[in-house]
Amino acid sequence: MPAGVVLRAAAAWTGTGAPPVERAELHVEAGHIAWLGRQGERPPPEDARVVDLGAHWLLPGFVDAHLHLWGLDLSEPAALWNWPQAYRTARAVADLGALLAGGITAVRCCGGPLGPSLARAVREGVVAGPRIVAAGEFICSRAGTWDHVAFPQRWAEELGMLADGPEECRRRVRERVRQGADFIKIGGSVGEHADALRPWGDDPGRLRLSYSDEEVRIVVEEARRNGLRVATHAIGEAAVAQAVAAGVHSVEHGHGASEEAVRRMAGEGIWLVPTLALPALRAERAPPAVAAHWQRHREVQRRSLELAMRHGVRIAAGTDFVGPPFTPLGPDACEMELLVEAGMAPERALLAGTAEGAALLGLGEETGTLLPGRAADIVALPGDPRRDIRLVRRPGFVMAAGAVVLDGRASAAP
């Protein structure tokens, strides 16, 4: 067995705020970064395997701070309740491989029954995949965010997703703790009953609250008592303000918030995960009537992101991708492209998809930066992504916890 791996590249962007390391060399030992500096500054470990990546740039592995590991193809709507969970799990494992190939080495699964078990399987080395921080099933009021009339009522009840009133909300949090959830995900806003995009609402300016202030407060209180944080699906002024007042850890989507709510988010360190990618791809690929609703969200998202950046809200990159046909898991790094298109500086977008994402997930001491002692979660891109952010979708080499999971050099050879 070799003592380790030595990566050589044109440069390394560390995600720490320091200037890139030119003519970079990075030593990997026992799955962790042992040293990073300029080529020739330190002899490589004896018997180490040397990988020369030429003109590529090294970066920390990417973080998708909001997705759903459902193992579904949403061109079959009834698959959500008809496909056996064992089959969905097998498909989700394949999705994990696609995420790694896209340079995604850590994810936050923001709702779904498979998440905690997949997280355990990756953690124990049973399957290969990104590091997973998982919420388990959503917590949602009846007729709230994800409880749609199209779903079989018995199935929705059996999921253990639905909770009404403070005590049932408290009970659902305790159930998630028992199931191994890493955090709690609740639905704070919902569209009109007949909306095509009911969880998001056809009109982002016409959403109502799913929960009372007391119900949200109880969820946050019980989660904290058990050492967990709360993420809230919140679109529109009322839902974001309610989530912020309750002291949630992160607001998911968050567009349509008032300036006062955004200012308070910044002051209290509440995270925003704007999820630009889902509406963008849906607006491109959905039937025209539905695509128009998604386009309305995109317009409000851009204005809200500008407001959040102006007030200094901490932002992490998350896609809200679920699976084909509209949002296949794998090319998730497009969120960083969309952040730049919306006005974020490329370096800040890279931070949102690496170090900041890792910090939101509670993994900032493990991954998200190229520092000695951090896990060797590394992606190599064919150039400087600060000059061309589109390069984040072209990883040529990916390493997760020191294991090479993608080496495109062989396929690129003549």
252 shares a domain with 393: no
Same domain, 380 and 355: no
The tens digit of pLDDT for each residue in 119-174 reads 999 999 999 999 999 999 999 999 999 998 889 999 999 999 999 999 999 999 99
The reply to whether 89 and 9 lie within a common domain is no
8 Å CB contact between 235 and 254:
yes
Q: Contact 38/55 with Cβ under 8 angstroms?
A: no
pLDDT of residue 186: 98
Average pLDDT of every residue of the chain? 96
Radius of gyration of the chain (CA): 21
CATH code for the domain in which residue 308 is found:
3.20.20.140
**What are the backbone dihedrals phi and psi of residue 93, each rounded to the nearest 5 degrees, phi first?**
-60, -40
Are 285 and 396 within one domain?
A: no
- 278 and 373 in a common domain: no
Residue 331: both structure tokens together: 């090319």
353-400 pLDDT tens trace: 999 999 999 999 999 999 999 999 999 999 999 999 999 999 999 999
Give yes or no for residue 256 having a pLDDT over 90. yes
Helices in 102-152 by DSSP H: which ranges?
115-123
Rounded to 10°, the helix 259-268/237-246 angle is: 30
411 band by pLDDT with thresholds 50, 70 and 90 = very low
Percent of the chain whose pLDDT exceeds 70: 98
The total number of structural domains in the chain stands at 2
The per-residue pLDDT for range 265-319, each reduced to its tens digit, is: 999 999 999 999 999 999 999 999 999 999 999 999 999 999 999 999 999 999 9
Q: Do 92 and 218 reside in the same domain of the chain?
A: yes
Which pLDDT score, from 0 to 100, does residue 263 have?
98
Q: In terms of domains, do 55 and 67 share one?
A: no
Gap between the Cα atoms of 223 and 231, Å rounded: 11
Question: Which is nearest to 257 in space by CA: 305, 318, 219?
Answer: 305
Measured at the CA of 145, the angle between CA 140 and CA 148, to 5 degrees, comes to: 100
Domain that holds residue 393: 5-60+369-412
Tokens linked to 82: 């008809």
Pair 146, 15 in one domain: no
Using one digit for the tens of pLDDT, what is the confidence trace for 29-72? 999 999 999 999 999 999 999 999 999 999 999 999 999 999 99
Given pLDDT bands bounded at 50, 70 and 90, which one contains residue 117? Answer: very high
pLDDT at 1 over 60: no
Q: Are residues 28 and 69 in the same domain?
A: no
Say whether both 170 and 80 belong to one domain.
Answer: yes
